[in-house]
Amino acid sequence: MPFADPSSPFAAAAPGRAELASRYAAVRAGTLAVAQPLSAEDQCVQSMAETSPTKWHLAHTSWFLEAVVLQPLVPAYQAFDPHYPYLFNSYYEALGARHPRPQRGLLTRPPLADIHAYRAHVDSAMQHFMATADNACWQEAASLVELGLHHEEQHQELIQTDILHLLSCNPLLPAYRPGPTPTDSPPHAAPALQWLAVAGDVRAIGHGGPGFAFDNETPRHQALVHPFQIADRLVTCGEYLAFMADGGYRHADWWLSDGWAAVQSQGLCAPAYWLAPDDPRAPAGEWQVFGPHGVQALDPAAPVTHVSFYEACAFAEWSCARLPTEFEWEVAFDLPHIAQMLGHCWQWTRSAYEPYPGFRARSGAVREYNGKFMVGQQVLRGASSATPAGHGRKTYRNFFPPATRWQISGIRLAKDIA
Ligand SMILES: [Fe+2]
């Protein structure tokens, strides 16, 4: 069954064959580079149901290319192993039964070496296909290959966030990879927060031009944006410490009901991966943060990350502000003095993850890529420090359940203009 739909945004302006083949090699190598610091043991374990082992990510991204490009479009393609689709299909009902997500960490077999061989098998077939497909077939395939590469980049980020959670469960708090050597120089100070005013208007929202976009960024449409102010930078760890010191986690008034229930039931008192001064794993007499480089002193000027939507809303309420809507965030993207929009952290918005007006599910398996998750989640905008360069953009819509703390998620404030 062909998955391409000429009306799909996936089909918009796919790059040329040589460019895509080159990008294919770079992205696939990039995934292996992300996994390179990890041992085979690191790559097999799953620390919670929401995360997946690195080995599974390495295989799943290959399965996606196999299922969406090679199987439907290359009649002579020989599958690497007929059992792999069951193991490495994530959530595509149209592509058959699958191994339960919470049990991905039980797959000690196939071994990592077999997964590397699987990747090489798929790469060989993909490169041959991209070099030899006739033009009619390539017309159908190009946008799917491009989707497969953007999908792989999403998993490059997930490998990093998933492994961070796994390593955080180890009492030795090992580093994912070596980081910069700490210096004795005092941390720099964040610039004073400035409020940027934006006039209300009917604004065009969503992807509509050339270049790749996921279907959830379309169709471009008109949205009424009321006058608002938005912070020119992200909320810092130092500002979040002030919220904590003011009883941020002890006063229900600032919290949404579900957020306060999480504070109570989970004993929350700080962002995920923060270590209290008396933490027995690494006592230091001051707050520290566990990250990809291991345990490091908290930098009060750095953006606070690993907070849930609930924590972001509580901080905003304490600040006499609110979170921006995703439309406000997108409008603010082009303001001349706004900073830290891409590359630091995903930024929670006050917008529920909903289809844009006119959103239409596509035919075929890629129909399940985004649309079926459009309930019960919040939109995050931006891109994080783990997002591959060039992957984020102004119209990108990430989405997670509001309690999520294991993603690199932070806070940008907004306010109404009366
Ligand atoms: Fe996936």
Q: State the distance from the centre of ligand 1 to the C-alpha of 333, rounded, in angstroms.
A: 28
CA of 297 to the centre of ligand 1 (A): 34
Q: Which has the closest alpha carbon to 147: 222, 61, 205, 209?
A: 61
Question: How much distance in Å is there from the Cα of 104 to the middle of ligand 1?
Answer: 14
Neighbours of ion ligand 1 (CB under 5 A): 90
Distance 54 CA to ligand 1 centre (A): 12
For the chain, the domains span: 9-168, 195-416
CATH code for the part of the protein at 195-416 = 3.90.1580.10
Ligand 1 center–CA 191 separation, angstroms: 38
Question: Are domains 9-168 and 195-416 of this chain identical in fold?
Answer: no
153-156: list long-range contacts, CB under 8 Å, 24+ apart: 153/27, 153/30, 153/387, 153/388, 153/391, 154/391, 155/31, 155/57, 155/60, 155/61, 156/30, 156/31, 156/34, 156/386, 156/388
Fold of 9-168: Four Helix Bundle (Hemerythrin (Met), subunit A) (1.20.120)
From the CA of 151, how far away is ligand 1's center (Å)?
6
Output the CA 62–ligand 1 centroid distance in Å. Answer: 10
> Tens digit of pLDDT per residue, the chain (418 long)?
333 343 444 444 567 899 999 999 999 999 999 999 999 999 999 999 999 999 999 999 999 999 999 999 999 999 999 999 999 999 999 999 999 999 999 999 999 999 999 999 999 999 999 999 999 999 989 999 999 999 999 999 999 999 999 999 999 999 999 887 666 565 678 999 999 999 999 999 999 989 999 999 999 999 999 999 999 999 999 999 999 999 999 999 999 999 999 999 999 999 999 999 999 999 899 999 999 999 999 999 999 999 999 999 999 999 999 999 999 999 999 999 999 999 999 999 999 999 999 998 766 778 899 989 999 999 999 999 999 999 999 999 999 999 999 999 999 999 999 7
Residue linked to tokens 């030899």: 132
Ligand 1 geometric centre to CA of 177 (Å)? 24
Pairwise CA distance, residues 285 & 264, whole Å: 26
pTM: 0.95
